[in-house]
A and B are shown apart, each in its own frame.
Chain A
Amino acid sequence: MASPSTPELRVQTLFLQHAPLLQGFIYGLLGDRAAAEDVFQETFVAVAQSAASYDPERDFLAWVRGVARNKVLEYWRRQGSTPRLVSEEFLEEMITVAEQYDLTDWQARRTALARCLEQLAPRARQIVELRYAEVPLLSAAIAQQLGWTVNAVNVALSRARSFLQTCTERALRIQGET
């Protein structure tokens, strides 16, 4: 198997490194997992096709976010008047908030979140694992498996997420201060 040319490989490698962050970004603008996946794929194709013109001095994430933004707009135009989570005129404002997350922040969050996960109570941890496992279970299935009510699972899941968010932010704050 021959190796691809260097700029293509470099851009693909960078894309892979930023993929989870970019997936989150696109999903945040569309609010629909299936649509987000399609747009993510289209973004990759566009980025790969422009690999040769990518200047390594430029901020890669800013560049691919720009491409993704255009793909989101294209997607909306294809969809016509289907209701949207984020309206077009409000898009830039949403993007501005998302831009605070870069790869360094993402990795720091990942590390902090991994530690916070260990601090969850065993039952809460189990619910989070079932919800985010390879085969993600919805609340009803988790409830059936644990012998809980659906409402109890929802409450536990909500509390767990809230704890993880607070714990992660606190860890990042402490890290920032030190």
Chain B
Amino acid sequence: MIRERDSNLIEALLDRELTPAEQLELQQALRESPAARQHYWQSLMQDRLLRDLLRETRGHDMALVETPMGQQPEAALVAPQQSRVTPRKSLLRSMVIGVLAASVLIGLFAWTKSAANLAAPLGKLQSLSGQVTIREADGRTSPAASGTIVRYGQSILVESEESSAELQLDDGSTLLVEADSVLVLPSSATAMAGAREHARARFFLERGGLTVQANFPSTQQPLLFTTAQALIKVLGTEFRLYSDAHESRLELNEGSVQLLRQADQQEIVVSAGEYATIPTILVNQKLELLEAKTLSRAKCELRQTMLRAGRSARLSSDSQLMATVRGRELRLWELASGKVVKQINQFNTPPEQLAFTPDNQAIVGITQKGQLLQWSLDQTEPRLTQLSEEAIRMTHLAADGSAVAQAIAVKPARLQIWRMNENAPAASSQQTFPAKPWSAAVSPASQIQTAASAQWDGEIELFDLNSGKLLETWHVARSARPVEISQHSRYLAAYGHEDGLYLFERKTDAAKVSKPGRSLWSHIGARVRCLKFSRDEKLILAGFDDGLVRVWSTQSGEMLLVLQTGDPRVDDLDLSQDGKTLITVGQNEAVKVWDCVWPELLEGV
């Protein structure tokens, strides 16, 4: 049993700095009492968990920037309703937990009732990558491998960012379970058939993303999928389904799907090229009309594919040339003919990021280890310069090759900016900003040039490189990466590890308070790998680890394009200055060139 005094000291430690005398007293208690040690770790873990649970942040107001402990933030006093955890959120959370708990209970009930069918095989796992686990109905887990037979009542857990698993059903349908997803399989064939008329099976997407290619004769019963918010009856199709605590989102490539909203049983048919979303409904909340909307108002058509072209690619501003890196080679392509016109390979470590200079006469490249490459295209050899050799967490090259930002981890941790010089030395360190950056970004040279530091705790700071001033502080839930700044530093896009893609807009000179961030994509089942703004700042493009490119209007936040590249993931992308040419780089170093047409308002980007 812990002594009250020890308990008080532990609690005091959580709320403030202990005095030296108190620290000594607690040290003594921890040394002497196993109960105190146990209670100490329990309290600390609970404290960390509470911080974790109650700080599920979104992009938010500048007035709510976290202040050091002990200082009293004014905003919190005058605007308590702006606290990150509002009653509405709290209610939402309880509902989600309730729904999930109910689903689990229903699942357990069904499983118990149909134990006889548990052993029946449902399909086979194939094309596994990363960490995939099978969870039995009783909670036991075991690692899965390609070829593993999955059975009714089991769940497939795809656990990390690099993982995915494909489930092939006996009728040839395939279900691609994306990273960070949990798919609960039907509890039993017979139980499910009885549970709903026409139902052959029902899958529950607990969270994450799922791509389905249904392949069955019309005489068979349709597949059924559920999420916390929706029930989807497959009528012969290919679709993607995403589910999290906030909403379910269904996107259709082919065929059609019958979508039912669990809250009011409203049903619609979603057809090819359409999508529909169902948000989590709060108690007494008025339901909006459920409708299918057009998935992509913009259109991109594949012009050519260059196999084994490289894993990083950039377009010249006139869209005539493309630079790629493959192995130790930096290649220059003529886009019209698809041929390599020049190449160099005089470096040990190839650059990982590339940029054309604005006059298209030179290419700048940078390695993650900080080696800078400047290749004047009329020369046969590049100029190589080693920038900082310290522990670099991330390096970012400006889209016009004018500057490099480095997130440096060793003490003093900092954001370091290098500017390119035309003559020797190749680059000079322009500025450093005190920060603990997890990732960094720097904008192209413009009237205002900025750099951003995204910290471990989700704080993102935007600095003016001319004045050295801190312009903005924004937040995401935790460590944002990648981060990208638009041409004139009007926008910053950041992908938060836990809460998705956000678009932040820099406040005008007259505005005192920053605008809150706009959430563009919250489904962590599909993660952003690369970001790029169009040169005119009207579009933000994101390449995902499920092989899709999504493009949003920066002004309205509307998703304008969902492009299936046909690759397992998108490692890099670039959009030409006129917006008509898009290049994507897939996992297998295939560079694809796309001709794009944007909605009327955005034509001529």
Contact = CB atoms under 8 A, between A and B. Distances in A.
A1 interface: yes
A44 B409 contact: yes
B489 interface: no
A24 B51 CA distance: 11
A158 B161 CA distance: 38
B529 interface: yes
A17 B83 contact: no
B50 A28 contact: no
B69 A33 contact: yes
A172 B334 CA distance: 63
B72 A114 contact: no
Interface residues of A, number: 73
A36 B30 CA distance: 19
A133 B84 contact: yes
A49 B391 contact: yes
A148 interface: no
B127 interface: no
A135 B11 CA distance: 19
A110 B52 contact: yes
Interface residues of B, number: 81
B53 to A, nearest CB: 6
Interface stretch (B33-41, B294-302, B502-510): B33-41
Contacts of A53: none
A52 interface: no
Contacts of A9: 161-162
Contact of B11 (A45, A130, A158): A158
A129 B85 contact: yes
A150 to B, nearest CB: 11
A37 B26 CA distance: 21
Given A132-B50, A158-B11, A86 B57 contact: no
A164 interface: yes
Given A85-B23, A85-B27, A101-B41, A132 B51 contact: yes
Interface of B: 8, 11, 13, 15-18, 20, 23-24, 26-27, 30-31, 34, 37-38, 40-55, 57, 60, 64-67, 69-70, 72-73, 75-77, 80, 83-85, 90, 93-94, 97, 160-162, 311-312, 325, 352-353, 368, 391, 393, 409-411, 413, 436, 456, 475, 478-479, 482, 497, 529-531, 571-572
12 contacts: A1-B482, A20-B52, A21-B48, A40-B456, A45-B409, A86-B27, A86-B30, A94-B30, A97-B34, A133-B54, A134-B66, A164-B46
Interface pairs A-B: 6 shortest CB-CB: A2-B352, A24-B48, A134-B84, A132-B54, A1-B530, A45-B409
